[in-house]
């Protein structure tokens, strides 16, 4: 039998592991273990062009600028609750890409391209997990499809946003993602905080499902710090990762099982919690408000009203809102998941979504609200300046 030579040996331990004889105490509840090619194989097969690299790098920087108040636009993270159909995702990206160019002076639009769904109990866990929506769980195909869809979205000139759920998935996809979320069910998870600390893009932490905002603020602090933890590298080898800490973590207010939390008071309290968490210079200027989930009771009509309310407050000069998240698709509402040929085209198979025409209306409203906020700020600084001149 091959011997592991102890913690200081530099020997390739993957080789040793492959030959080890396993005791009956392992894999008790495992049915099958299917190897999947390492991340590098997927990246080589579906690579980024120079233009896409530029898109991802520029949009990450712009998102950071909005979050830290160096850019007065509003970040808008909008798109389906989950992606289940490559064709519909491309169709949606095409529509959104066109609107993004028209509204880019006022809105920094990023498309929700969510492939992993955290479940309260059980249910369809997203395109990577079960790409055929039929319980065949072809994860290899799902991962390949996810990369291809991200490339399609990028070809429309759109930056992509996604939720990081599984700690291995980012190695396969993160080169194509400009903004990441850690969901309400994972906001207190050390594994996700470690992950965020090494991610190359801004990361938003949701308040927890029971409404705890401090957990998200603590996450911003924890993830701004360096960490050491186990992970895999692009070749699929287990490694000890050492991260630098992420300076662009921020809070997402998503409401809770007790009701909404998007009021002016909620925003102010979240920003106070962020500062109290000792996050220091990495503290964002504002928060993102998720108009869906607990803020709308997962009702798309209510969600649109929340966006209208936010637009009115932004137009009125409220500036603690750095971004808005919306769940929107081609068709409104939702349907039960199932094989593609049984589904209504362009309709969500997870949470209810706002239909495209209403989405377009709301995005134009948000853009106009930003113009009003900007005009107000210019007027205020002019009258402040004049006051100074008169002194
Ligand atoms: O965003 C999607 C859902 O809200 C999330 O995945 C939880 O869904 P569930 O409560 O239906 O499992
Ligand atoms: C699952 C999501 O949100 P939350 O974690 O807030 O439930 C989501 O945004 O898709």
Residue 63: per-residue pLDDT: 98
Q: Which residues contact 319 (CB under 8 A, 6 or more apart)?
A: 69, 285, 286, 373, 377
Digit-coded pLDDT (tens) for 319-331: 999 999 999 999 9
Q: How many helices (H) and strands (E) does the chain have?
A: 11, 10
For residue 114, report the distance from its CA to the centre of ligand 1, in Å.
12
Closest CA to 247 of 268, 224, 218: 224
Q: Which CATH number fits domain 36-377: 3.40.630.10, 3.20.20.70, 3.40.50.300, 2.60.40.10?
A: 3.20.20.70
How much is the average pLDDT of 23-46? Answer: 96
DSSP character at residue 387 = H
- Taking the CA of 253 as reference, the closest ligand is 2
Digit-coded pLDDT (tens) for 360-374: 999 999 999 999 999
Q: What is the ipTM of this complex?
A: 0.98
Three-state secondary-structure class, residue 149: helix
Mutational test site, ligand 1, from 82, 123, 252, 337, max ligand atoms within 8 Å of CB: 123
DSSP character at residue 174 = G
Q: Is 294 in the pocket of ligand 2 (CB under 6 A)?
A: no
Q: Where are the domains of the chain?
A: 36-377
- Cα angle, residue 323 at apex, residues 317 and 325 outer, rounded to 5°: 130
Looking from the CA of residue 350, the nearest atom of ligand 1 is 2
Q: Is 118 in the pocket of ligand 1 (CB under 6 A)?
A: yes
The protein residue whose alpha carbon is closest to atom 2 in ligand 1 is: 351
Residue 22: per-residue pLDDT: 86
Mutational test site, ligand 1, from 83, 350, 353, max ligand atoms within 8 Å of CB: 350
Q: Is 350 in the pocket of ligand 1 (CB under 6 A)?
A: yes
What's the N-to-C CA distance of the chain in angstroms?
A: 86
DSSP of 12-76, one letter per residue? -HHHHHHHPPPPTTSSTT---------HHHHHHHSPPPHHHHHHHHHHHHHHHHHHTTSS-SEEE
- Taking the CA of 118 as reference, the closest ligand is 1
Residue 282: per-residue pLDDT: 85
């Amino acid at each position: 039998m091959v011997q592991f030579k102890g913690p200081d040996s530099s020997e390739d331990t993957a080789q040793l592991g492959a030959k080890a004889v396993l005791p009956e105490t392992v894999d008790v509840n495992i049915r099958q273990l299917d190897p999947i090619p390492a991340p590098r194989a997927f990246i080589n097969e579906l690579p980024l062009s120079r233009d896409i690299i530029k898109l991802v790098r520029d949009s990450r920087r712009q998102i950071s600028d909005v979050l830290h108040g160096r850019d007065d636009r509003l970040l808008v993270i909008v798109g389906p609750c989950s992606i289940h159909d490559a064709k519909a995702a491309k169709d949606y990206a095409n529509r959104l890409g066109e609107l993004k160019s028209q509204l880019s002076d006022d809105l920094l639009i990023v498309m929700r391209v969510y492939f992993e769904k955290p479940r309260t109990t059980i249910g369809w866990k997203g395109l990577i997990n079960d790409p055929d929506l039929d319980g065949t769980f072809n994860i290899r195909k799902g991962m390949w499809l996810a990369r291809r869809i991200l490339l399609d979205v990028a070809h429309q000139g759109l930056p992509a946003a996604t939720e990081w759920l599984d700690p291995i998935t980012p190695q396969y996809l993160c080169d194509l993602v400009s903004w990441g979320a850690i969901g309400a069910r994972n906001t207190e998870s050390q594994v996700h905080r470690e992950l965020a600390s090494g991610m190359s893009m801004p990361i938003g932490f949701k308040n927890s499902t029971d409404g705890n905002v401090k957990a998200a603020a603590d996450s911003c602090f924890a993830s701004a710090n360096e960490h050491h933890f186990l992970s895999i590298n692009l070749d699929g080898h287990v490694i000890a990762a050492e991260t630098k800490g992420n300076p662009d973590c921020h809070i997402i207010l998503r409401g809770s099982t007790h009701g909404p939390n998007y009021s002016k008071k909620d925003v102010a309290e979240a920003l106070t919690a962020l500062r109290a968490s000792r996050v220091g210079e990495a503290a964002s200027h504002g928060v993102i408000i998720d108009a869906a989930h607990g803020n709308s009771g997962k009702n798309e009509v209510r969600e649109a009203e929340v966006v209208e309310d936010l637009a009115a407050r932004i137009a009125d000069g409220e500036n603690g809102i750095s971004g808005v998240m919306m769940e929107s698709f081609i068709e409104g509402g939702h349907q039960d998941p199932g094989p593609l040929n049984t589904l209504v085209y362009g309709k969500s198979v997870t949470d209810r979504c706002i239909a495209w025409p209403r989405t377009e209306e709301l995005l134009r409203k948000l853009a106009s609200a930003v113009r009003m906020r900007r005009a107000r700020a210019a007027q205020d600084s002019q009258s402040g300046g004049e006051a100074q001149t008169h002194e």
